[in-house]
Amino acid sequence: MKIVFLDHHTLNADGLSLDGLNSVGEITLFPTTKAEQVLERCKDAEVIITNKVKIQSHHLDYLPHLKLIAVAATGYNNIDIDACQSRSITVCNVRGYSTEAVVQHTFSLILALTNRVRYYSEEVSKGRWDQSGEFSFYDHSIPELNGMVLGIIGYGNIGKRVADVASMMGMEVIAFKRSWKNENHAKHQLVSLETIFEKSAVISLHCPLNEESKGMICQASIEKMKKTALLINTARGGLVVESDLAQALNSGRIAGAGLDTLNQEPPGENPLIGLNNCLVTPHMSWATVKSRKNLLQGIIENIKAFQLGKPINVIT
């Protein structure tokens, strides 16, 4: 099969080998692809692999050989699903490949904020530790996670793993999930969204972005939070009204935020970047070596299953 990977640099920016893809067909790799390049690059493709490059209805009209779109991610909002379905083009994704990586990054953000890692590293560089004359230098209160309330919004696979790790660190976990079906025996206490906002010392977002959740972190919800609250977002940037969060951080309405996703990526000008009490990382919580190897293997398995006539992880 003729296979085109439109944006492989999202998967192997550090040189991770993609040789495994050779086992499923004649592969053509492009590090990145602009919208106007899609048709030329995919005109003979039977399979397209894409992470973030959009495949829309007007593309499909000119791709007569296309049989499968293998999304190199879990999210597939860059694909016109209805148009693929009407043309009998299979779309599949890869699920669960980065759960442990996102959990790891979630706690790296929490700990960086509570322990003020950036601040103290900078103060040491300025010579303040030497100037203090003390074996231990600190000029801010340092809280412990043990005993803190962690509120998790989105109690899926990632949210549950974050809850498990938090519990092992002595945190009190409460969680919100829109549908509580099949959660009668949940390991952690399920509560209302209002309770999450009002009781949590740390709020961590792990829910999908949809019409219900879009902009859920806004002035109204922030007003319900503790002034000492920390907000963590490793889910989707659209969950947060960024101007409202920036205002809350600048005014001291909440204590801090750690964000791995933003509304626009890359962000350009953004009111959250550069704030002393806001850490922003470049949407890399998913990108450990192990996770990317898991993702690559998932892509290969999806293509092989399709070739055998037994597609898996099918969206449409």
Cα distance from N-terminal residue to C-terminal residue, the chain = 20
Cis peptide bond upstream of 266, omega within 30: yes
**CB-based contact 283:264 (threshold 8 Å):** no
Catalytic residue annotation: 236, 265, 283
Please tell me the distance from the alpha carbon of residue 316 to that of residue 314, in angstroms, as a whole number: 5
* Residue pointed to by tokens 């890692």: 117
Question: Which of 106, 47, 100 is closest to 71 using CA atoms?
Answer: 47
